[in-house]
Structure formats: structure tokens, C-alpha cells
Amino acid sequence: MDQLRTDTAFAGSIPRLYDTLLVPLIFEPYADDLVDRIAAKRPARVLEVAAGTGVVTRRMATALPPGTTIVATDLNQAMLDHAAAVGTARPVQWRQANAQQLPFDDASFDAVVCQFGVMFFPDKAKAFAEARRVLAPGGAFYFNVWDRIENNEIADTVTMALRSLFPADPPLFMARTPHGYHDLATIAQDLASAGFAATPRTSMLAARSRAASARVPAMAYCLGTPLRNEIEARGATLLDRACDVTAEALAARFGTGAVDGKIQAHIVVVEK
């Protein structure tokens, strides 16, 4: 199985389930945090890379001044199509683009933002260099990454549950990719290799992931992320069983009612 292809494949029903289940489960507080940081600088031109289904885009469209130009890009057209269909409070430009080969002129933007996307870039230094290239002098690159999976209780529980279901060949997408790029020294080195001379400013933000029942996060992770691709590769009929096993594990850890688990991420800001 081509892990790079499966880890970055957000297609089929994944965009809808990602937006309706996973976004409110784990992404919203971090979107608010990033947008607050960007809004404080009042940039005139903002580029978003790996915009996904548009949770940050929607918040920027509301929080940033009406004259601010917002361009939102993603590698996966299906994610952009869903984001555009949901819509924003004011017009933004949606454009399919590879973060490692951005189709924009040098110094085109005052801010570049990426919410939980840099972990998916095959060549992170190359993508960082592209972000730096399109930034105007004095502009800043804002992004966040998940902390290690052990500090993100629901993702960790889901991963451990699937280990029990597939002991010989467990699906490790969550640990490998979303939670696989949390070392701040490595991130700083990749930014330096990309040409950023300034020292990145980093902070850690803990939040809570809440759902009405264990079934919601089970479906969010197993059906609404590329983890689904890994499960289906082990058997097209195993998705329901995977959801059942993960829901049982979540209920065992958090109780049979509402789920409330810790999530934690690093915030990184670096200026050009």
C-alpha cells in the first residue's frame, strides 16, 4: 500500500464526514486561535494552504477586515469543493494548489496560514520555502501541528483500539501522520532549511474534545479521515467493525455517555 497516497487522499464521503464530525470535535478551538493571531496583525493579503473543508477560511472571512484578500488552497479538490459549497461570510478565492509548488508570485501575501496541514507535506522544508517565497518582507507564516498522540486522548484511544482489531498489521495513520510531526527542534530546523532566518515563536495549546457519545468520534476518525483508506485496504467490509471496536474502546475509557478528552497542539509563528 502506498502510504503517501492513502495518507493524503481526502475523497469520496470523507470531506463531508470530516467537516460535520471531525471539525467540531477537534479543529474549532485551534481555528479560533490561529485567526485571532492573524487578525491582530490586520494583513491585507492572506494565503491559506491545506485549507481542507474551510474551518479557518470561514473564520477569517468573518474576523479579518472586509478589504483583506483571502486565497484558500488545498491539494484535494474534493475538500475545496465541499468548503466552497458550505460557503463563507464574504467571497474568498478557492484554488487547488500543491503547497510545495505554489502558483503565486514572490512576496504576494502578508500572511500564510496552515491549520494542521504541514504534517502531510512530503517535503516539509520545500513547502516552508514556498511559504517564505510568497510572503512579503515582514510577513509571517502561521501554522499548528498536533502534539504527540499520547497527549491527544481520543486519537490515542482510537489507534490502540485498531491495534487490537488488526494486531498483525495495525492502521497507524493517526500516529504516523497527524501526530507524527511534533518535535519542535525538527520543525525549527526545517524552517531554517527553508530560509527563515528568524527564530520561530512557539506555544502549546491544550483544549477539550467533546462529543455526545463514543460513536461520534469513532465515526469521525474511522470514516472521516484517511484512516478509512487504511481500514478498507485490510478489508472493504471492515469499516463497521472498526467503528464498533473504537466506539467500545472510547466508551470504556470515557464512559457510556458524553465523551470529553484532552487534545493538545503546538502553535508556530515565524516571520520573514
Reply yes or no on whether the pLDDT at 4 is more than 80.
no
Looking up residue 259, the CATH number of its domain turns out to be 3.40.50.150
Q: Binning pLDDT at 50, 70 and 90, where does residue 7 land?
A: very low
Domain count, the chain: 1
Q: Binning pLDDT at 50, 70 and 90, where does residue 113 land?
A: very high
Residues spanned by the domain of 235:
3-271
Find the distance separating the first CA and the last CA of the chain, reported in whole Å.
39
Q: What percent of the chain is predicted at pLDDT more than 90?
A: 92
Q: Summarize pLDDT for 196-220 with one digit per residue, the tens.
A: 999 999 999 999 999 999 999 999 9
pTM for the full predicted model: 0.94
Reply yes or no on whether the pLDDT at 9 is more than 70.
no
Q: Binning pLDDT at 50, 70 and 90, where does residue 236 land?
A: confident
Flag the least confident range among 56-70, 114-128, 226-240, 249-263: 226-240
Reply yes or no on whether the pLDDT at 188 is more than 60.
yes
Q: Binning pLDDT at 50, 70 and 90, where does residue 223 land?
A: very high
Closest CA to 144 of 7, 4, 270, 272: 270
Reply yes or no on whether the pLDDT at 269 is more than 50.
yes
